[in-house]
Structure 1
Amino acid sequence: MDDIPQHFNDLVHKIAQEQKFANYDLDVKPISSGGANYTSKLYTVTISEGSRVLQMFAKIAAVGEQMRAHMPKLYDTERYFYTKLDDLYEKIENDFKLPDEHKLAFPKFYGCNPAKYEETVVLENLVVDGYLAYDRMKAIDWPYASSAVKELAKFHAVSFAHWKYYPENFETVMEEFKFDFNMGDDGMKRHMETVTSRAIDLVDEQNKAKLARFFEAALSSPESFAPEFKKSRRPVLGHGDYRPSNLMHKNLDDGKVEIKIVDLQTLQAGSPVTDLLYFIFTGSDEEFRAKYFDKLIDHYYTELSAAMRRLSLNPDEIFSREDFDFELKEKLPFGLTLAVFTLPVITVDTANAPEVNENLDISNFAIEKTSDLYAERLNGVVNDYVKWGILT
């Protein structure tokens, strides 16, 4: 374990002692996300003593000041959730005697290190229990999508309950997680111009001018772009990066899919619609949306309403279908922008993915060698926005 940081080694031994291990063997191995993670170094940790084995998963901060300048709370959010919010969410669910099937299911938290540049979170290793990360190159199917959206609805419903039953604490949390991303500096502006220019080059000829006009208007004021996207009639604590790469799933014998939400580094106060659109446009292709877009939208609100009622919340008072439809219509154009900025990284071949290290900067995400899959997905999204009358 010579290449394991000393602070991480110390944390793992501390956890071992807390879990009542004495004369134990420790095995720590670095792992690769295959281009799905850009903020952390990843490790598996196995602590064994006789027949007793504890298997964990760890994330250690990997980026330096350049990325931190754009995302100053990057490593605070996940730790905050596991140390301060997870227990409250569980209390809310237990207060209403929710059965396990209706509860949120996060990985078990074992410990963390909050020191700057050494930020670490240690969780249970879900892989050993049969959970897998979704193939980022593969478009979502209905069984997976419907389960993921159901879990998202439960996540948002508990946030509504947090607002209803613990209003002062909720306001504190929402202030802690207000959208905080530096959109207006020169580096960000150059990044946005580069990414949009490459997208325009890749779309079919008949749509180039339409996409160019869209971004000329949408990005004329980058500093106001994100807050507009996040505002809501009834804000929640959202995931902020709700895509298949940030979920773990298990295929069950009955054909259903079990989902666990992971990667909580981007928790943000904002509209629940944001997470839903993010999931759809980072995970689906044109064929899926043609069959299931409207169905998935309805499925989300049906599950959200059901989850709210289980927590003794009235959907019509908290976040009505009218509210939801209003925000969906208002924010749907941002789905196109999400696709343009996220799909190059999501679909990049592993060999061309940005390297995870302290020199990582926002400019590294303007992928130079985008994949053929990106062009295919991008053109599918653009076709939909033309069909919906948003790109004209």
Structure 2
Amino acid sequence: MGTVPDEQKAIPSWLDRAFIVSALKCGDPTVDESSVQLKSMGQVGGGLLSETYRVVAQLHSLGESHERETSVIVKSSPTVGGFIKELADSGVFTKETVAYGSFLPAMDAALETIEGESWRPLAPKFYHHGSQPTSFLVVEDLDASGFHKVAQGVSLDVDQCRAVLRNLARMHAASVTLLDDQQYNEKLFHQSLIFSRRLVDTFQDKNQRYADGTFDFLEHYTWFQKYVHKMEKLSTRFVGEVVDVVEQCQVDFKVMVHGDLHKNNVMFREDSDGLQVRFYDFQGIHIGSPAEDLQYFFHTSASLEVMRDHTQGLLADYHAVLQGTLRALGLQRQADGYPLEQLLRDMDHFGMIAVFVSFTMLPFMLNFGEMEFAIDTSDDQFEVKSKKFYEKSWRNDRYLAYLQHLLPVFDSKGLLDQKV
């Protein structure tokens, strides 16, 4: 299989030259398999729900005179135990296989038809998937194409947010053309990965305990004191409320949402055509409201400046691209039925998502990579590690600045009030 550097982490036995040859030939049948040589292979940082490996191979296709180098990302089911393993085994690879294998190619084809030379793909190129010896996916390595993630702990500026939302609008609009397909009527594609009953059970059983004492230290800040009583009541119910609003999804205009759209699932590249964006990690796709993706993205990924000064303008820009794409695709009725005013009403309807992620995901995103985050709920030290992580995250000055801005906004919309 070729020489693998000693410093690389342990590689599963099934991830060998034959596996990579098969994957490359799925992506390009003209690949000369006898020419494929593995140059490097190693584990890289990935999502919580997968083990991720980068493989670099040298090869050439039939008819080519020169060898070329190709880098791919291989994702497989996680080896970590507990809740993460259970979640990964609950259908996320099925979703992502459908996303990369059929859904994204169909959307890209529809968009290419209307966008012509300006068309750019929504996501990495897909090579291969399978179930033996484990669930896995092989996709393009965007790093090798000049794309990059923003630095850990750094939030997105207004230009990056605009690029993300325009790409999201294209995806949402194109997805409408596909939702009548019978395969998307299955229950799996109407279930959120993040906002589910499974989350309620786990959060209340495990993570709810990390909040003990949180409001004690926040009471020392004068700007927080008026919210203490509301926050104490809110902490006992907001998980259930956000799950209810997502599961019921009582809106007329629905799309296939990404379902986990934060800055760590987005890559950027600056070129002559401007700032290019690609999405990845589609394990959370499901049918829902655009507002679900939008609230989740803003409150996990946007800088405080964007939150304060640019949210409304960015929503208007997203809506304009959504409308233009829907109409170009011949979906005039859907475009007419979803004016900007309705999008803004939907944003308010899904406002509890903003509250939830602001108190759970946002501190994690602002401290990502700086501290150890416990993900194995079967670990005897899970609760201790989790509490330690969140205590440090909550005391982060940047996070406190977000809270100082967001709490009055949430309060003005009635999101902190006790529901009757």
With the shorter chain as reference, the TM-score category is 0.7 to 0.9
Q: Which runs of 5+ in 1 are unaligned?
A: none
* Closer/same/farther in 2, CA of residues 289 and 11 from structure 1, 3 Å limit: same
How many angstroms does 1:274 deviate by?
0.8
Listed one character per residue, the Cα deviations across residues 28-54 of structure 1 (whole Å, up to 9, x for unaligned) are 432443xx7322222221111362222
Residues 41, 168 of structure 1: alpha-carbon distance in 2 compared, 3 angstrom cutoff: closer
Corresponding residue for residue 59 of structure 1: 75
- What SS is found at the alignment partner of 1:30? strand
Give the corresponding residue for 1:171: 185
Question: Structure 1 pair 274/219, CA: closer, same or farther in 2 (3 Å)?
Answer: farther
Equivalence map 1:1-392=2 (5 Å) = 1=4, 3-9=10-16, 10-16=18-24, 18=26, 19-33=31-45, 37-49=47-59, 51-62=67-78, 63-70=80-87, 72-93=90-111, 96-102=113-119, 104-115=121-132, 118-163=134-179, 166=180, 168-172=182-186, 175-179=188-192, 181=196, 182-185=198-201, 187-197=202-212, 200-201=215-216, 203=218, 204-208=221-225, 210=227, 212-214=229-231, 216-217=233-234, 219-220=236-237, 222-223=239-240, 225-230=242-247, 231=249, 232-253=251-272, 256-314=274-332, 315-348=334-367, 350-354=369-373, 367-368=389-390, 369-370=392-393, 371-386=396-411, 390-391=415-416
- The amino acid that maps onto 1:122 is V
Q: Which amino acid aligns with 2:14?
A: H
Report if the CA contact (8 A) 1:134-1:248 is conserved.
Answer: yes
Tell which deviates more after alignment, 102-111 or 152-161.
Answer: 102-111
CA distance in 2, matches of 1:211, 1:157: 41
Give the SS at the match of 1:27: strand
Give me the whole-angstrom Cα distance separating, in 1, the residues matched to 2:263 and 2:412.
26
CA distance in 2, matches of 1:365, 1:268: 28
CA distance in 1, matches of 2:252, 2:236: 24
Give the CA RMSD over aligned residues: 3.1
CA displacement at 1:278 relative to structure 2: 1.1
What one-letter code is carried by the residue in structure 1 that aligns with 2:35?
A: N
How far did residue 145 of structure 1 move?
A: 0.9
Contact 1:46 1:54 (8 Å CA) reproduced: yes
2:52 partner amino acid: L
Cα deviation per residue 1:358-392 (whole Å; 9 max; x = unaligned)?
A: 95798566534324433343333324434666457
Q: How far 1:210 moved relative to its partner?
A: 1.9
CA distance in structure 2 between the partners assigned to 1:350 and 1:176 by the alignment: 31
Q: Compare 188-197 and 48-57 and name the one that shifted more.
A: 188-197
Shift of 1:105: 2.6
**Is the Cα–Cα contact under 8 Å of residues 48 and 84 in structure 2 kept in the other structure?**
no
* CA deviations over 1:227-246 (Å, ceiling 9, x no partner): 31351322221011111110
The secondary structure found in structure 2 opposite 1:46 is strand
CA distance in 2, matches of 1:77, 1:220: 29
Q: What is the TM-score with the length of structure 1 in the denominator?
A: 0.85
Taking the aligned partners of 2:287 and 2:256, their CA distance within structure 1 comes to 5
- SS of 1:107's equivalent in the other structure is coil
TM superposition score normalised by structure 2: 0.80
Larger Rg: 2
